[in-house]
């Protein structure tokens, strides 16, 4: 859900995240991840999202509240993420 904000060129931090797990998520199947911006205010954004199987079965759904990072703090936030990397099993 938070990645939806990057489409709007918004840097934000998670203020609240609620997830409802409906069914176990299998490791050996393709998944569809859906994120949607549902509300935008001056500094706060709300989004919803789902994880689905190819047949449309909803495995998890959630909502989140995201707070915009002030422009003068964006570079600091960006550099704090420099150490992140994807590591395979």
**For the chain, what are the domain ranges?**
2-79
How high does pLDDT run on average in the chain?
Answer: 88
Q: What CATH number has the domain spanning 2-79? A: 3.10.129.10
User: What are the tens digits of pLDDT across the range 8-49?
Assistant: 888 899 999 999 999 999 998 999 999 999 999 989 999 999
For residues 52-62, give the mean pLDDT.
97
- Please, which pLDDT band fits residue 84 given cuts at 50, 70 and 90? low
Residue 41, CA distances (Å) to 1, 3, 52, 70 in order = 16, 17, 28, 14
- Please state whether beta strands 12-21 and 32-40 pair in parallel, antiparallel, or not at all (unpaired): unpaired
Do 68 and 16 contact (CB within 8 A), yes or no? no
Q: Identify the CA nearest to 62 among candidates 16, 26, 7, 6.
A: 16
- pLDDT for 17 equals 97
How many whole angstroms separate alpha carbon 38 and alpha carbon 64?
Answer: 10
- pLDDT for 72 equals 86
Share of the chain above pLDDT 70, in %: 90
Straight-line distance from the first to the last Cα atom of the chain, in angstroms, rounded to the nearest whole number:
25
């Amino acid at each position: 859900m938070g990645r939806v904000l990057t489409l709007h060129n918004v840097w934000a931090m998670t203020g609240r995240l609620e997830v409802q797990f409906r069914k176990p998520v299998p490791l050996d199947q393709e998944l569809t991840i859906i994120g949607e911006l549902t509300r935008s205010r001056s500094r706060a954004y709300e989004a919803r999202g789902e994880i689905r199987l190819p047949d449309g079965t909803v495995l998890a759904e959630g909502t989140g509240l995201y707070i915009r990072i002030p422009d003068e703090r964006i570079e600091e936030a960006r550099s704090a993420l420099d150490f992140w990397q994807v590591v395979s099993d």
